[in-house]
Amino acid sequence: MLPVWMENTDSYVPPGGGGTFAVKTIRSITAAVGKLQFQQGRESKPFLPAAVRLLLLLALILLLSLSRHLLVLLACTALAMMALAALPPDRILSVWKSALAAALLAFLVLLPAMLLRPAGRGNNLIIIWKIFISVQMVSIFNHTTQWNHITSALRRLHVPGVFIFTIDISLKYIVLLGRLINDLLTSYLLRAVGKNKQKYTSVGGVMGVVFLRGTEMNRQMYEAMVCRGFTDDYEGL
């Protein structure tokens, strides 16, 4: 015979909200890391090499910034829209979000000047327009070019190897530490049951582990560079 308490059905339902913070954070980190992990499949067959496209991008941004002619602004806008139309719908939305965010920030910065000097509103709107198009072109280049091709293009343009090395290693370690944070929050989520009123205190523990792991990775990379005789010559991948 089983005891009576073992024959009863457990109807305990834990309150919600125990892992909402962890779930939202995991989604944000996964989305951010996913944007950096496009070494494969991100770039379709390019019409021009990455170095040429980078030079064209810099030239268009410089021309757009220095020119005061409306025709040049319209031509750059048309080129940006043509390049944008060739992207998949999900990337178009991402490009527009970045460009609109930059334009909104510029509008908020220039809003006092537009209110105090109504005569200069036209010039201020042109500045906002230029910022929108410039950020859109940079975002299109970012969405159509792999990072290893960007570093290779910088190398061909005779950018110092230390600068390229810093960018490349920073991006790689952002991905590695992002994975670590994702794993830590996933383990926290698996242990979370019910509503935890002190869930934000786990952030300190996660950041502490990430800091220690980042320090250890930094030391290991430095020792590896010393052992291999690193001479500031970085070819990239």
pTM of full prediction above 0.75: no
Question: Distance between CA 146 and CA 160 in Å, rounded?
Answer: 20
Tens-level pLDDT at each residue, the chain (237 residues): 677 777 777 665 555 555 566 667 777 776 666 666 554 445 556 667 888 888 999 999 999 888 888 898 999 999 999 988 888 888 888 888 889 999 999 999 999 988 888 888 888 999 999 999 999 999 988 888 877 788 888 888 888 877 888 888 888 888 888 888 888 878 877 776 656 666 666 667 778 888 888 889 888 888 888 888 877 666 654
Question: Distance between CA 129 and CA 102 in Å, rounded?
Answer: 10
From residue 180, how far is each of 70, 95, 168 by CA, in Å? 49, 28, 19
Looking up tokens 């969405």, which residue turns up?
143
Per-residue pLDDT at 127: 92
Per-residue pLDDT at 40: 47
Tally the residues of the chain: 237
Per-residue pLDDT at 131: 93
Per-residue pLDDT at 193: 63
Per-residue pLDDT at 218: 86
Per-residue pLDDT at 114: 87
Question: Distance between CA 178 and CA 184 in Å, rounded?
Answer: 10
Residue 140's nearest CA partner among 75, 71, 60, 201 is 60
Per-residue pLDDT at 212: 87
What angle is formed at CA 67 by the lines to CA 66 and CA 68, rounded to 5 degrees? 120
Per-residue pLDDT at 105: 94
